[in-house]
Amino acid sequence: MAGGISPVEYMLGIMRDSEADAKERAWAAEKVAPFVHPRPAPMERTVQIDLPDTSTPAGIDKALDAIIASMSKGELSPSEGQSFISVIEARRKAIEANDLLARIEALETQHQNKKG
């Protein structure tokens, strides 16, 4: 940068210098390539998988087993499996929160009845 050029410009200069050592030119080309030719983002695909009802903890366990089995068979990539698992984990947390809320409300009602 002290010479007024960016690191990318510096590496491009080495790569284009026909009098530079071939190994240095190859090194510069390798290092600058991701900045000049970035890789396109991977395209998402739609995945269908049969999952059991996830409205109960037992159903969530079965759904996780199905996802793991699909990943082990190569039907789902690890990242696709993780996406499914994230959604199911959100479902599990919602079920847990509703269960805790019902328990708290029951305890409050019991407490009110004892007072009253």
Per-residue pLDDT at 70: 95
Could you tell me if residue 53 is left (phi over 0), alpha (psi between -120 and 50 degrees) or otherwise beta?
beta
Per-residue pLDDT at 45: 82
Mean pLDDT by 10 residues, the chain (116 residues): 79 93 94 88 83 94 96 93 95 96 95 86
C-alpha dihedral, 11 to 16 to 18 to 23, nearest 10° = 40
pTM value?
0.57
Residue corresponding to tokens 């793991």 = 68
Spans of all domains in the chain: 7-36, 57-115
Per-residue pLDDT at 2: 57
Q: Are 68 and 52 in contact (CB under 8 A)?
A: no
Per-residue pLDDT at 3: 65
Per-residue pLDDT at 55: 94
